[in-house]
Structures are given as C-alpha cells and as structure tokens.
C-alpha cells in the first residue's frame, strides 16, 4: 500500500514525516548527554558520582569519537584506573560512538571547592 501524496502546499520535509528512528539513534550523543550519563559513575570511596564531585573536566565529541578528561581527588588515588574503566563501561555501546578516549589529568589538581552543592550536602559539608 502506498502512502498518500502530500497535500498541496505541504513542503517536502513535512511530507516526509518524522525522522527515521534508526538515523536518530545512529547519531552520536553530544557532550551534555554524555555528561548526564556520567552521573552513573560513582567514586567508590566517597559514594558520590564523578560529575557532582567535580572530577569531570571535559567532554568532547568529534563525529563518532568521544573524549572524556577526568581527575581524581588526589594524585595518589588508587582508584583512577577503576574510574577510567567505569567511564568507558558507561559509554560503551552508545549509538553513534565508535571510539571512546578517557584521559586522566592532575592539572589542575582537584579541590573540594569543585564539588557541587549537592555533593557538599551529601557529605555534610557547608556550601
């Protein structure tokens, strides 16, 4: 069965209907969407996610490649590899991404002032 012809005066885009869900899902998520997803990565020592702790430095998306730059609370943190693996696991398999680069930085060093008010509240620290 053929689709009915578009009504007179209806543009080609409107006549085409909504975008194909496969095309939408194939598009890589943007930096803000990735940042939101990374709330699922919890610092196991503190029990708060890396975004609220202020450990997430940068998120970039270039085509099908995502780059995440993060830090840890101290350069001696034994869990940096764990957090890196969790970031990768969180983003692995996202539609549109074929490359995930996760990088650790200590410059500038993390400071408690980088925590969100929510993280401070959860830890019982003054805002």
What pLDDT, on a 0 to 100 scale, did the predictor assign at position 40?
Answer: 96
- Whether residue 36 is contained in a domain is answered as no
Please tell me the distance from the alpha carbon of residue 79 to that of residue 71, in angstroms, as a whole number: 11
> Is 44 contained in some domain?
no
Does 120 map to a domain? yes
Residue 126: what pLDDT? 85
Smallest Cα–Cα separation from 87: which of 113, 49, 47?
Answer: 49
Q: Give the count of domains, the chain.
A: 1
16 pLDDT band, cuts 50/70/90, is low
What is the phi/psi pair of residue 57, to 5°? -95, -50
- Asked if residue 118 belongs to a domain, the reply is yes
Q: How far apart are CA 13 and CA 18, in angstroms?
A: 9
User: Is the pTM higher than 0.85?
Assistant: no
In a domain, 5, yes or no: no
Tell me the torsion sign for CA atoms 84, 86, 90, 92: positive
Position 71 in a domain: yes
The pLDDT value recorded for residue 9 is: 45
Domain that holds residue 63: 54-77+105-127
Q: What is the pLDDT of residues 27-61, one digit of tens each?
A: 678 999 999 999 999 999 999 999 999 999 999 99
Contact 56, 68 (CB under 8 A): yes
Within a domain: residue 22?
A: no
If you compute the radius of gyration of the chain from its CA atoms, what whole number of angstroms results?
20
CA-nearest of 38, 27, 90 to 61 is 27
For the stretch 66-117, pLDDT in tens is: 999 999 999 999 999 999 999 999 999 898 999 999 999 999 999 999 999 9
Residue 91 lies in a domain: no
Q: Is the pLDDT of residue 24 over 80?
A: no
């Amino acid at each position: 069965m053929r689709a009915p012809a578009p009504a007179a005066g209806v543009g080609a885009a409107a006549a085409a209907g909504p975008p194909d869900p496969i095309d939408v899902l194939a598009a890589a998520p943007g930096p803000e969407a990735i940042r939101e997803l990374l709330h699922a990565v919890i610092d196991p020592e503190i029990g708060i996610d890396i975004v609220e702790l202020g450990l997430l430095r940068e998120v970039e998306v270039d085509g099908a490649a995502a780059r995440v730059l993060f830090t840890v609370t101290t350069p001696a943190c034994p869990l940096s590899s764990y957090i890196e693996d969790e970031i990768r696991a969180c983003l692995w398999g996202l539609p549109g991404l074929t490359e995930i680069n996760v990088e650790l930085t200590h410059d500038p060093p993390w400071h408690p002032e980088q925590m969100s008010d929510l993280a401070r509240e959860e830890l019982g620290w003054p805002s």
